[in-house]
Amino acid sequence: MKLFSSRFKQVVAILRKDFLIGMRQRATFAAMMMFALTATASLSLSTGGAFVEPKFLAALLWVVIFFAASAGIAGTFDDEATAGTLPTLKLYADAQAILFGKMIYVFLSLVALTIFILPIFLILFDEPTENFLLLFTTIFLGLIGLAAAGTLTAALTTSATVKGGLFPILLFPVTLPIFLPAISLTEISFTSAAFDMSSLIMIAAFDSILITASSILYDYL
């Protein structure tokens, strides 16, 4: 119990540190927001107000979230790498605490991004949503997996010289098993068609796999 309490405090400390740094250096978060806004506006203008199939809109929503997230998640470990403080940080905090502190921060950033872009997306494409509960549940589970995979991928590419291009290439195949059922469920939430609970279970199961794999692999980085 004492070990759990100590690790929990370390996770909170890492989360608080990243939050304070993010508040002082808002460029990364602003880049995520502006990319999502620009991409959504451009896609909306390109349709010219024409009817767009719900399945295509669902795919576009997740594409916007993925690439906007990639713009921010890729730099998760940049502050420590630039300052050379990551080894020192590992002396004061358990590696697992660092991973999960970063992962929670990434997840909260993605939630904020989605809260910002989702209403704009629905308004610009004039897309009615029949099942908000399914939409929010799908996005919530999808963001968990994206945060888990993104945090580990950011750790792997910290020292890469071409991180901007390498990060989404590595991240996409890992998150594809999440995006495929997420796109399908998002389409269903737009149309109120009947859905199979197994798709939600599949996303939740893959989230668990990604979190577990990240926890195991991070110790070897």
186, 138 contact by CB (below 8 A): yes
Window from 48-57, 62-71, 170-179 with minimum mean pLDDT: 48-57
Q: How far is CA 148 from the centre of its chain?
A: 8
Using pLDDT thresholds of 50, 70 and 90, give the confidence band for residue 52.
Answer: confident
Using pLDDT thresholds of 50, 70 and 90, give the confidence band for residue 189.
Answer: very high
- Does the pLDDT at position 41 exceed 80? yes
**Residue 2: its pLDDT value, please?**
43
Query: Between the CA atoms of 113, 208, 137 and 192, what dihedral angle is there, to the nearest 10 degrees?
Result: 120
Q: Which residue has the higher pLDDT, 202 or 49?
A: 202
Q: Which residue has the higher pLDDT, 3 or 75?
A: 75
**Which one, of 30, 41, 61, 53, lies nearest residue 143 by Cα?**
61
**Residue 110: its pLDDT value, please?**
94
Mean pLDDT for the stretch of residues 201-218:
93
Task: Provide, rounded to the nearest whole percent, the portion of the chain with pLDDT above 90.
Answer: 41
**Which one, of 170, 137, 148, 150, lies nearest residue 69 by Cα?**
150
CA distance 135 to 42: 23
**Residue 161: its pLDDT value, please?**
56
Rg for the chain (alpha carbons), in Å? Answer: 18
- Does the pLDDT at position 102 exceed 60? yes
- Does the pLDDT at position 3 exceed 70? no
**Residue 162: its pLDDT value, please?**
57
Taking CA atoms, 11 is separated from 16, 80, 91, 148, in Å, by 9, 16, 14, 15
Of 75-89, 134-148, 181-195, which has the strongest mean pLDDT?
A: 134-148
- Does the pLDDT at position 1 exceed 50? no
Query: Between the CA atoms of 120, 125, 131 and 132, what dihedral angle is there, to the nearest 10 degrees?
Result: 0
Per-residue pLDDT tens over the stretch 79-93 = 766 666 666 777 777
